[in-house]
Structure formats: C-alpha cells, structure tokens
Structure 1
C-alpha cells in the first residue's frame, strides 16, 4: 500500500480557478483565511510581494514563479511589501469583474503601467478539511522559482500549460487548469516528501523505514483489529520504541491515528458512494452499525446518516 497515494485519494483534491489579474501600481489585495483549501498564485507578468499571516518576512515573487499556501492562511498580495491592502471582495466589486477575462485593478485614478502585475489565482479544496497531518505538517508556503524549474521540467511544462490555457480562454480551459493545479499540488507535496526535514514530522514519517512498514499495513487494512504490538512487530521494533517513534513523528499514538483514518475513510464513502452504512462499518472494523455510529458521532458530533444527508443536500 502506497500511504501517500491513499491519503491524497482520500482527501480528494479539487482545483478551482478564480481569475487572472492585471494589477497596476499602486495595488494591494487581502485574501482572507479559508479552511480546507490551498491557495495558489502564479505570476505571468511583472512581480508581486506576498505577506502570509504569522510570518514576519514578505516573499518576493517574479514572472514565472508560483506560490502555494497549503493551509489557506490569510495573506496579502501587493506591489510593495508594506502597502495597506484592500479586501479581495472589495477589489472584485470595484473592478467590475464579471467572471470573464482578466480582473483589472489599481488603487490609483491614474495607475502606473510600469508597476503592472499579472497573476493566475486559484485554490485547491480538500474533503474533510485539515484533519490529516500530511496537510497540517506542510510548511506555511510552497514556492517554485523560475530559476529552479530547469531541474524540474515537469514544473516548467505544467506552468506553461496553465498560462497558455488561461490566456487563450479556450473552451474547457478552466477545467484543464483546475486538473493541472491538482497535479501540481500533488507533485509539490511529493517534493516535500523527497526533501523531508525534522520540522515536517509526518512527511518524515513516510520516509522512515520502520514507520512506513506499519503505516502501509494500517492503510492497506484499516478494518483489521490492529494492536500496538501487532504494528510494532510489522515495523520491526519493540512495542515501546515503536509507540514512542510513532508519537514523535505522527503526533498521536498508533490506535488514535487508526481511528482518525477510519473516520476519514468513512466520510469519503458516505459522501461519494452509496455503500450501506453497515457495509462501511464492517470494512472499517466495527462489529455493528451501532458501534460504528457511536464512534462516528463522537468524532464528528453527527451520525453517519445525518452526515451523508447533509453532504448530499
């Protein structure tokens, strides 16, 4: 079982293109925080500064650069690093943007053409919010620099494709860009996995030989009656060493992680399939529909039936 693939499939990444912009100096736009999403901004002309809530330094990005903000944090895009922003909804209203073409905006009556910045903006949405450490452990932002894409041709090709589709406004362009942005996010998350550091615990856990064995087994059979001892045996560690190692990297004990993963799988099946609840309960290791419903209600403060009904309403 490939744990990374299983997590990404379960979280169901979906891309949405907002708009492409033509900003002329002076300009500054506040993008509010929003859960369950990763924001992205690709610079196709000029440059801009990005200030992310909670970070002290602004990030300068230029033509060809792309920044992705995995946890939907509030941030400001602007032509200078300290300009006072206007909320994005206000910008959209003032610009008269109707969803077609480019969003054209400047805070000045006589904008400076030389300060022009062109962006492609959108977000990636996930089912089940930020409930998995693969999302919560990612850094505050992921950045692709033009100068770096020489060693990552797939990035350069994907970005060129996005720019071409967006600027030519061909039929189906939004759908193409949305799918490409989903692929790009997965590739960026995978790049984090390839360069895992100690400050990215779960990402590092997926590279740990011992934990990978246990996580692969757990993800392959979430309905099995797992014990810490059984998972430790698969990992090749003593119970104590395995439990401590799992807690360190995953941030919770093995059985707690198993329970949360079962709940995530349950929400996926409830939202996106017509599997009977008793079948879902059995697949996830619960002896009865009633015991599964109790566990689900404790985790989500809603019964499986109400959850499915609200998801489909």
Structure 2
C-alpha cells in the first residue's frame, strides 16, 4: 500500500486518539466458553492451542496459534475451546478493566489447557469520528502461520507481555503505547489485505480512489469538486463518482462533508475555538447552515460540543 495512503490512516487515528488500557493472560480448559460483556474494544493474540472467537452473539471464527483478533467496536466477545460436550462450561464476565500496572492471569475451565492467549482492551477517544469507524468490521482476524506471521506482531506482543509482567515504574504508559502501536499496525495490515469491502478504509487499498481520499484528507479546506477529485484520481468524472461511491459507500462530496465536519468537531471539543472560526474551513457560507449540517451528522449542536462527555455523545448518537 502506498505510503501516502498510510498517512491518511494516521491522520484519522490521530483525531481518534487511540488509548490502550490494559492487558491480561488467559487460559481456557477444554469444553469451556467465556463471554465478555460489551465495553472497551479488545484484542487477542493466541499463543497456543486453538479457540473460537466471536462478537457477542456473532458467528465464531476459528483462531489458531499465532493468529491475532481485533474487535474494535466494543460489542463484547465470546471465546470458546473445542468442545467434547454438547454444553460447555460457561463463564459470564464484565469487560470493565481495572489496570494496576501488574499482569492479570485467568484460567477458565478444568483439566488441560485448550488454548492460551494474551489479550487487552483499548478505547477510541474521538467520539465524533465514530461515523468514520463504520468502515471497520466488528471482528478483524489476521491469520499468522509460520509463512505469513508478520515480524512486528511477534515483537510488539513480546514487549507487551514483558511490560505487563514487570509492573515497574511507567509500566501503564508503556502498555498503553504498545497497544496503540499494535492496533495501528493491525489496521494497516488489514487495509492492505482488503478485497471488495465497502468503506473509506477499503478505499485506501484502491489505487485511484485512494488518491482522492488522500487529497481530501491532506487538504480538506480546498474547494474540491467531483471534477477536480476525478482529475486527482486520473479518471473521468462519471467513472470516478461511481467507483468512489461503490468502494467507500458515500458519494465523494458527501464523504468530504463528513470529513470536514469531523475536523470541526475535533477543534470544538478542545474548547479553544468558537463556532464562527470553523464555519468557513468546514465549507459552509453561514453559521446557520454549518450548525444544521453538524447537528444532522452528530446529533448535537456545535455549541454543545466542548461541554459534552464521551457518554453524552454516545447517547446523542444513539437517540437519532
């Protein structure tokens, strides 16, 4: 994947402000199932054995030793070992993390170990960018056998393991940074492996659509038109418009509007700028027009942004 496309991913993740929370080690006995309630986003790196992992109430994915699973939406997950019984032993757990700088090790089920793993949680802090995260599936599975095992995965999880066990000064910060790195590298690898999925992340793997996405992200204030974006993508206007919509799931100008509003929301959340200062850069000629579009996109007005907490924003989006 061209490096400039990776920069677009970096720009978005900078606004999202990924924050790693904690890690833990887990072991499942045979005929055992562990269900985690909805909470933060999670990841799991299987060290030994073979387990099934699924989103809460979703279809299970068979995960083998070396594989990595990322669940970015925080919907909850279920982990199950190969069952020799019709009804496995089941555990229900809260997903709330209580990081203390020391590793936590859990063993579920009796008997020999069917699978062991390193897992952890993280948050995406940029609530206004939730709409951009719709390009992510609920579960990302990287198959990592001896042939395709990426060196970075082994290195990062090794240092994460070491840091989680040490519990020394600065351990919480190191764990958070390593989780950040692990998630970003996973997203980048997932983007590079995309096929015919729909979403802006998938668009990055399409050479021509990716050029237009890069241009919009790097220069959002420019007076872009479908024609100028088509020229950037080196395509005819109609072909580009159709291709962009098919790959990204939004028309070019609708996507541009969403990105501009997202940038405006991030500035307003800081509380250091006024609404009138972001209207023009967001592509609107009046504060009234900007406010209408902003509320339609996020569910709350621009003037409310810097006073709202993450929970308030979630409720506003959910009540639409």
TM-score normalized by structure 2? Answer: 0.79
2:41 matches 1:38: yes
2:257 matches 1:259: yes
Check the 8 A contact 2:208/2:233 in 1, yes or no.
Answer: yes
Give the secondary-structure state (helix, strand or coil) at the position aligned to 2:280. helix
> Corresponding residue for 1:69?
71
> Corresponding residue for 2:130?
130
CA drift of 1:76 comes to 1.0
Give the secondary-structure state (helix, strand or coil) at the position aligned to 2:279. helix
> Corresponding residue for 1:17?
22
CA drift of 1:247 comes to 0.7
CA drift of 1:267 comes to 2.1
Check the 8 A contact 2:28/2:116 in 1, yes or no.
Answer: yes
> Corresponding residue for 1:215?
213
Count of aligned pairs: 300
Point out 4+ residue stretches in structure 1 off by more than 6 angstroms: none
State the Cα RMSD in Å.
3.2
CA drift of 1:106 comes to 3.8
For residues 275 and 231 of structure 1, the distance between their equivalents in structure 2, rounded to whole angstroms, comes to 30
Distance 1:117-1:242 versus aligned 2 partners, 3 A rule: closer
> Corresponding residue for 1:198?
196
Of 301, 306, 309, the match for 1:308: 306
CA drift of 1:218 comes to 1.5
Unaligned runs of 5+ in 2: 313-320
For residues 205 and 117 of structure 2, the distance between their equivalents in structure 1, rounded to whole angstroms, comes to 35
Question: Equivalent residues in 2 for 1:1-313 (5 A)?
Answer: 2-21=7-26, 27-34=32-39, 38-44=41-47, 48-53=51-56, 55-62=58-65, 64-81=66-83, 83=88, 85-89=90-94, 101-106=103-108, 111-112=110-111, 114-115=112-113, 118-126=116-124, 127-128=126-127, 130-132=130-132, 135-138=134-137, 140-143=139-142, 145=144, 147-148=146-147, 152-199=150-197, 202-272=200-270, 274-311=272-309
TM-score normalized by structure 1? Answer: 0.81
Unaligned runs of 5+ in 1: none
CA drift of 1:239 comes to 2.0
For residues 195 and 8 of structure 1, the distance between their equivalents in structure 2, rounded to whole angstroms, comes to 19
CA offset digits 1:74-115 (Å, max 9, x no partner): 3212333562532212999xxxx99555254545xxx43x32
Check the 8 A contact 2:136/2:201 in 1, yes or no.
Answer: yes
For residues 188 and 237 of structure 2, the distance between their equivalents in structure 1, rounded to whole angstroms, comes to 30
Distance 1:76-1:54 versus aligned 2 partners, 3 A rule: closer
CA drift of 1:266 comes to 1.9
For residues 115 and 306 of structure 1, the distance between their equivalents in structure 2, rounded to whole angstroms, comes to 51
Give the secondary-structure state (helix, strand or coil) at the position aligned to 2:130. coil
Give the secondary-structure state (helix, strand or coil) at the position aligned to 2:197. coil
